[in-house]
Amino acid sequence: LFSASSRIGVHEDGPRRAERVVWSGTIPEDKYVEPLPTALHSKWPGIYSTITSAKKACRKREMFVDGKLASCSTVVYPNDLVERRQRANAGLFEQDHTLRATIPVVYEDEEMAVINKPAGLATHGGTVAESGEGGTPVGKSNGRSVRSLLIHVLKPTTSQEEPLRRPVHVHRLDRPTSGLLVCAKTKPALRGLSESFASRGVKKRYRAVVVGRLEGSGTVDAPLDGAPAVTTWKAVETTRSLKYDWLTTLDLFPATGRTHQLRRHCAYQLGCPILGDTRYGGYGDGGSDEEVGAKLPNASTKSGSGLYLASIELNIDHPTRGGGLHFMIEEPPKFAALRVREQGRYDRLSAEEKAPISPRLLDCEKP
């Protein structure tokens, strides 16, 4: 049996998107009780040429048995009705709207979106432990990442131009880094955005607080991992600190996108590691990962509030409509709070040191 029809799928697992039945068949009466993938392959080898292809359809949540969503472990019986359903129009799988507040959305249309990734949230998962907000170590993502949450954060696309099954991020930010992250909702948008990043057509500005004193501006042109790496920097302001002596707020403009490029350039070439960087924060002028230099005079760059690095500005062309798009967000509140706190502590101590000594205290010191 073969049939094709459209319907709004509603089943025991709850409402689904608009979908259509692209294939259906009935398990013959002479068939033994067996797992669904095995039955699909043995009965309809022209459609499901291997058990693997049948399993793939089940994993995509497309197979139904007597109207119920089936899995690879579903057992079928004689006369069971098996259907394969796919989307009748554009749109994503059902969403958990309680998760929408997890990631702020800066911009969104039918083809792309820009989000503000929180610090401590992995872009694509992974198990590398680094400090997140509050200085707590961040290990395995436990299933929570930008990739897994986007489907709940962004609205389903209504575009008919090759809509993606689920939105995807186009580039990455390190787990402890916060800020602007570009996502695609259709295949044409994904191709266009990926080409923009690959051709260096995307202009980005990061805000960082580094340990040490820098003034003016400059460019670091130092290869990383055998590939060219260029970063332009500009000092925004300097802050005195009892713990770190000097802190400098920098604007960083990466011309390339090497792994940990900004963190490594600040630590190794500028000699001023980014505050809160537990991986590269202990070294100064080194030139390379293999030949890192001596320890900085400061004992530690651990801040207790995570990494002080954020992507705050982005210029990019729209992937399908053309025309430039400009996005800018404020630096995280912890940046200003840090500067006020450190400068305040330094000023208070300086005032105490400069205060005249009371005559009464001088009298007490006389033998």
For residue range 282-337, what is the model confidence (pLDDT) as tens digits?
A: 533 333 333 333 333 343 456 567 899 999 999 999 999 989 999 999 999 999 99
Q: Read off φ and ψ for residue 251, nearest 5 degrees.
A: -100, 130
- What does the pLDDT read at residue 304? 63
Report the pLDDT value the prediction gives residue 301, as an integer from 0 to 100.
57
The confidence score (pLDDT) of residue 143 equals: 54
> What tokens does 211 get?
């340990």
Query: Residue 87: its pLDDT value, please?
Result: 66
pTM of the model: 0.68
pLDDT at 126 (0 to 100): 53
pLDDT of residue 20: 77
Q: Which of 302, 224, 311, 321 is nearest to 269 (CA)?
A: 224
Which residues are catalytically annotated?
Answer: 174
Q: For the chain, which ranges sit under pLDDT 50?
A: 1-16, 92-93, 127-129, 131-141, 283-300, 361-362, 364, 366-367
What is the token pair recorded at 34?
Answer: 């067996």
Nearest to 314 by CA among 201, 231, 184: 201
